[in-house]
Amino acid sequence: MVYYYRCYNVIDNNRGTYVKKINYKHLKRSLWAYHMNTGSCNACDIEILATLMPRYDAERFGIKLVGSPRHADVLLVTGTVTEKIKDKILQVYQQVPKPKLVMIIGSCGATKGVFHESYAMAGPLDTLLPVDVYVPGCPPRPEAIIYGVAKAWEKLEEL
């Protein structure tokens, strides 16, 4: 129900003239995430899936992977941003309704990591998008990913 209520608060600053302050307090606990791979090596992706599986079971906190960015609260980004996918990540970011959070999973999204000399990179991601939570590690453990989501809650409560 939190999500349903929030839909009415979304304001399109580009088109609408009606501006209302978004109440971030309604976005608590049940975070829905959209996962996007922007050139990662799969390690972070399988750790995100492992986080949702019965052993770690992040769904008990209401965290869920959704199939469309339009349903998401959090954009989980893995991987360094390559030149060829740069446009796509910007488009996906536009499609996520406000208020939205961006989380980087893995070291290479935050700093380009081991690929730092490569010419094929458009990243790191925080030069393109506002990033809220960084989860370092190559790949981060599922516990670290859950901790990162908990940090995102804390951030939302402060807003």
Q: Which residue has the tokens 């975070």?
A: 31
Q: Which helix (H) or strand (E) holds 145?
A: helix 142-158
Window 77 to 136, contacts with another protein (CB under 8 A): 79-80, 82-85, 87-88, 91-92, 108, 113-115, 117-121
Window 59 to 88, contacts with another protein (CB under 8 A): 67-68, 79-80, 82-85, 87-88
Task: Give the Cα separation of 157 and 26 in Å (integer).
Answer: 9
Asked if 40 touches another protein (CB under 8 A), the answer is: yes
Q: Which helix (H) or strand (E) holds 4?
A: helix 2-7
Task: Give the Cα separation of 25 and 72 in Å (integer).
Answer: 16
Beta bridge partners of 64: 32
From the list 36, 21, 26, 20, the residue with the least C-alpha distance to 156 is 26
The least CB distance from residue 1 to another protein, in Å, is 24
The least CB distance from residue 14 to another protein, in Å, is 17
Out of 15, 21, 55, 60, the only residue in the binding site for another protein (CB under 8 A) is: 55
Interface residues with another protein (CB under 8 A)? 35-47, 49-50, 53-55, 67-68, 79-80, 82-85, 87-88, 91-92, 108, 113-115, 117-121, 138-139, 141
